[in-house]
Structure 1
Amino acid sequence: MSADSAYRLALQQRLATGGLPHPAVARGDNCLQWQQLLIHCGPLPLTATPAANLALELNSPWLPPQASSGFALLVAGQRQALQQAQPLLDALAPQAGGWLYCGPLGAASFCRRVFDALFYLSGPLLLQAAASGQQTPIDWPALLLQQQELLQQLAALSRDYLQQQGEDAATADEQWQVLDDFRQPPLQQQHFARNLARLLLLADSLGENARQLLEAALDLAAASTGPQNAKSPP
């Protein structure tokens, strides 16, 4: 069973617990038909153009959607389809209205990939701390290096998304506007994914000085843990 088909099946199981009828399966295993709306379940391919009759896409980051437990629901696609699909989205979300509209088709997939990447880095540390119930020493230089590498990967993903949407990264004069746009409550943002992508690119552009300081700190740490005397004994 593919990841998309497993995701679609989990959504159907969750709908059953909410008393809604199962949507029809359409276009293989990765789409559902809900009141004449074609809905893609799971990430859309980055390089593929979505089908013309595709109305919405659904994604949930970090954890698979369970029948009884809540999860983050990301929604993207045609705005006019949101009102028609609201009973479906409310039933799938942790509570009515507890879903985030990310923008046009592809926006939810972009946000899903960003959030999954962030959890991939910080998740194991959080789970380890929760399981042990006590503080454990953290290798801060290694963690910071991972964060810098992750930011570069997210910046590349953001550039690809903006290019796909026909959007541009913010100019130097628009930096404060990027912060103002992202500071708005997510439910009030017209294109949350675009604002997130522009914010990640801004963070990457501002991080060059931080990367230089980090490299100097790592070199210093490596020197301090190396041999105390590199010379041969007399």
Structure 2
Amino acid sequence: MDIEAYGTGATLTAVCTRLAAAGHALTRRDGPDALVCGRWQLDLSAPTPQAAQALAAFHGGRYADLAAHWLPAGERLGFAVYAGGAADEACAVADALAPLPGAWLDCGPAGSATFSWQCVEALRYAQHLGLLHEALPDTTEWLRRQQQLLARLDELAGRYLACHPALTTTTPAFPPAGHPHFAQALARWLNHVLALRSAWQHLLEQPAP
């Protein structure tokens, strides 16, 4: 498949190396990080849900966003790819970038990949936050950074649900049609959990028994 690769940074270099190894013909061009295959635009520039929605409409639905850690090791081993709005040629590109065909996460409509990847990265960072510096981190500073991360996750979830509002009624386990897509379910979970922040803060401020 012929692919036009836009961008000049390390991300595009790693992506192009992986795609070339899979047998795709690549043409490098200047511009924001993106891949164009046929009439499909694959955005690697981490668009917001609102921007992705607008771009999907502009491209007549032939638009998807892809997100991953575009590290050099992925050139040989494949990337853990998040895809939003992928179909047809976009799926073939995701197959080539992933460790195995089909071994990538379908997050939902365009914009869902970037949102899902950003949330997972924030949660991963939060898990290791206390180990980044000294062996015995300052508790106050650690809590402050955790609060910053929670605020960021709250912002991401709210922004995503503003574009993809959750249904107010529940659906049975089967059939799957109409169920929340992965990114929407993740945003709903974050929205629910982060609503409890004030209760957590109240508990933290209680004096020790």
Same fold (TM over 0.5): yes
Give the Cα separation in 2 of the matches to 1:69 and 1:139. 38
Q: Secondary structure at the match of 2:31?
A: coil
Give the Cα separation in 1 of the matches to 2:153 and 2:44. 23
**Which of 1, 15, 34 is equivalent to 1:11?**
15
Give the Cα separation in 1 of the matches to 2:129 and 2:142. 12
Give the Cα separation in 1 of the matches to 2:26 and 2:181. 27
Change in 2 beyond 3 A, CA 1:86/1:160: closer
Runs of 4+ in 1 over 6 A off after TM superposition: none
Q: Secondary structure at the match of 1:116?
A: helix
**Which of 102, 117, 125 is equivalent to 1:112?**
117
- The CA RMSD over aligned residues, in Å, is 3.5
- Contact 2:48–2:115 under 8 Å retained in 1: no
What amino acid sits opposite 1:107 in the alignment?
A: S
How far apart are 1:145 and its partner, in Å? 4.3
Change in 2 beyond 3 A, CA 1:149/1:216: farther
What amino acid sits opposite 1:35 in the alignment?
A: G
Q: Secondary structure at the match of 2:108?
A: coil
Corresponding residue for residue 36 of structure 2: 33
What amino acid sits opposite 1:11 in the alignment?
A: V
Which of the pair is proportionally richer in helix?
1
How far apart are 1:25 and its partner, in Å? 5.0
Q: Secondary structure at the match of 1:56?
A: strand
Change in 2 beyond 3 A, CA 1:86/1:104: closer
Q: Secondary structure at the match of 1:28?
A: coil
Give the Cα separation in 2 of the matches to 1:155 and 1:198. 10
How many corresponding residue pairs?
192
List per-residue Cα deviations over 1:86-126 (Å, max 9, x = no partner).
33212201222210011111111111221232233334556
Change in 2 beyond 3 A, CA 1:30/1:147: same
1:9-88 matches, within 5 Å, as: 9-18=13-22, 20-25=23-28, 28-45=31-48, 47-48=50-51, 49-51=54-56, 52-53=58-59, 54-61=62-69, 64=71, 66-78=74-86, 81=87, 83-88=88-93
- Contact 2:160–2:187 under 8 Å retained in 1: yes
Give the Cα separation in 2 of the matches to 1:22 and 1:117. 35
Give the Cα separation in 2 of the matches to 1:21 and 1:161. 33
Deviates more, 1:153-162 or 1:139-148: 139-148
Q: Secondary structure at the match of 2:149?
A: helix
What amino acid sits opposite 1:155 in the alignment?
A: D
Q: Secondary structure at the match of 1:94?
A: coil
Corresponding residue for residue 156 of structure 1: 155
| Greater C-alpha radius of gyration | 1
**Which of 195, 199, 203 is equivalent to 1:205?**
195
- Contact 2:67–2:114 under 8 Å retained in 1: yes
Query: Which ranges of structure 2 fall in alignment gaps of 5 or more residues?
Result: 1-6
Give the Cα separation in 1 of the matches to 2:78 and 2:140. 35
Percent same amino acid at aligned positions?
A: 30
